[in-house]
Amino acid sequence: MTHVESPGSPLAAERLIALGCRILAHQGLAEDVLGHISVRDADDTLRVRCRGPRERGLLFTEPADTHRVPLEGPPGPLRDGYRAPNELPLHQEVLKARPEVNAVVHVHPPYVVAADLAGLALRPIVGAYNIPAMRMALEGIPVYPRGVLITREALGKEVAAAVGDRPVGILRGHGIVATGRTVQQAVVRALNAEALARITLAAGAHRVPPVLPETDIAELPDLGGGFNDDLVWRSNTAKLEHAGLTPR
Ligand SMILES: [Zn+2]
């Protein structure tokens, strides 16, 4: 049986990060071991998915793979031989720049990366197929033009500035940053960006898809963020459970 995690307790954050990582990997957004989720924690810290000596990839993330590290500066030593992600500065700088954001997803979704490299911007080309993805594209999905690993504070600040106040940003030749008030929202935004990129690439193989007409955009209902995030999250946790992939 799936159930909604109560936000706030550290245990819930650990489990939400584990579930989110598994959903991203299960949906093909994180190939093998690359990618992480972070959550804002108390006292100027964040909790982030780290890698330990028995790392098996994002699909098998356990709550114990998450660690609390400072919001500023190096992570310091972690228990049990774990290491914080090299790209920790990406999480730190986006969380510092965005007080309304509590969760950051960084993964390397192949369709988003391919669409951007093909010169195909993620535009509002779909309607009812995926309304939240259309709205995200309507707001604009910014691109950070460098393909470097975000290992330093200065690079993290560049990414945070490029993403601005948008839900999702693309890192060219690299991956995406998806933000959210919750882990669920950030994960579902990442899934929606990849869904839009898949359609963009498939349609773009023949011609540049036209943007959805203004009248159709105005006609589409506002389903509310919670509707999409809750349903997609629940559907994906059910898929994990069905595949025997729910973390302990
Ligand atoms: Zn990366």
For 215-247, write each residue's pLDDT tens digit. 877 877 777 666 677 777 887 887 888 889 888
Share of the chain above pLDDT 90, in %: 69
**Structure confidence at residue 124 (pLDDT):** 94
- Cα of 58 to ligand 1 centre, how many Å? 13
- Cα of 148 to ligand 1 centre, how many Å? 8
pLDDT at 5 exceeding the cut of 60: no
Stretch 30-56: mean pLDDT, rounded? 91
The pLDDT tens digits of the residues spanning 93-134 come to 999 999 999 999 999 999 999 999 989 999 999 999 999 999
- pLDDT bracket for residue 160 (50, 70, 90): very high
Neighbours of ion ligand 1 (CB under 5 A): 175
- Cα of 182 to ligand 1 centre, how many Å? 21
What residues are labeled active site? 87
Q: What is the pTM of this model?
A: 0.87
- Cα of 86 to ligand 1 centre, how many Å? 9
- Cα of 222 to ligand 1 centre, how many Å? 32
Give Cα separations from 101 to 16, 77, 152, 160 (angstroms). Answer: 16, 26, 21, 12
CATH T-level fold of 10-242: L-fuculose-1-phosphate Aldolase (3.40.225)
**Structure confidence at residue 4 (pLDDT):** 42
**Structure confidence at residue 216 (pLDDT):** 77
pLDDT at 61 exceeding the cut of 70: yes
pLDDT at 14 exceeding the cut of 70: yes
**Structure confidence at residue 215 (pLDDT):** 85
Query: Considering the chain, what is the average pLDDT of its residues?
Result: 89
